[in-house]
A and B are shown apart, each in its own frame.
Chain A
């Protein structure tokens, strides 16, 4: 799995209550245009067409802290195409419940990918380390 990079606005959005990560519907947006760290809402992202693509919703399985370390854990997501989708190089995680679809972070897969009918793209999230961790410093 490519490394996760957060958007600069995410910590502030968390602090100001824009996210309820344990309940909000998180989703994946695909783009072939490099996201900027300064992007903050989904409207900042140039998305590909999702015609013929399966659900991009993530399934949150745990949102909890231990000894001050918060972890958000989500199940793996398999995107299945029934027609051409892409090309895309970046998978952006955003909050579909937040009123502005606030951005969380993104993965860079290093090269552009096009899915053809019947092909799958698996996002293999770490089931124990989580999608993201938050710890006060």
Chain B
């Protein structure tokens, strides 16, 4: 299984290749490179949320972000009864997954 660093490195390389092609080629011709960027973006989120349970509210797979200094796992598809996004945080990926799986959610008030 690939590491986060490997996925990120490939993502940055794919972004650079796509960005360069988009400056010089018709958009249709750079579409394959754009597709690769999207695949890697999804792979990175899937890596971060590995072992995370589906959203208990809507059943969708959660989304993962490596923010500066912490990881965040949240649902892009629904909110809780108060209209708050459903998301958890941790200093490591594993901590964020454990918090998400335990239903320990972060709210705007916690900021």
Report if A and B associate in a common complex: yes
B22 nearest in chain A by CB position = A97
Interface residues on B, range: 20 to 34
B9 at the A interface (CB under 8 A): no
B23 at the A interface (CB under 8 A): yes
Chain B residues whose CB sits within 8 angstroms of the CB of A66 once the complex forms: 60, 76-77
Which of A24, A73, A122 is the one whose CB lies under 8 Å from B65? Answer: A73
Q: How far is the CB of B9 from chain A (nearest CB, A)?
A: 14
Q: Which of B60-78 contact A (CB under 8 A)?
A: 60, 63-68, 72, 74-77
Chain A residues whose CB sits within 8 angstroms of the CB of B45 once the complex forms: 61-62
- Contact code string B27-71 (vs A, CB < 8 Å = 1, else 0): 100000111011001001100000000000000100111111000
Taking a contact as CB atoms under 8 Å apart, the answer to whether B15 and A20 are in contact is: no
Q: How far is the CB of B109 from chain A (nearest CB, A)?
A: 14
Chain A residues whose CB sits within 8 angstroms of the CB of B66 once the complex forms: 75
Chain A residues whose CB sits within 8 angstroms of the CB of B100 once the complex forms: none
Chain B residues whose CB sits within 8 angstroms of the CB of A97 once the complex forms: 18-19, 22-23
Interface residues on A, range: 20 to 34
Q: A23-B37, A62-B41, A76-B68 are in contact. List 11 more A-B contacts (CB 8 A).
A: A23-B38, A63-B41, A64-B76, A73-B65, A75-B65, A97-B19, A122-B68, A127-B63, A127-B87, A128-B85, A129-B85
B residues in contact (CB < 8 Å) with A: 15, 18-19, 22-23, 27, 33-35, 37-38, 41, 44-45, 60, 63-68, 72, 74-77, 85-87, 111
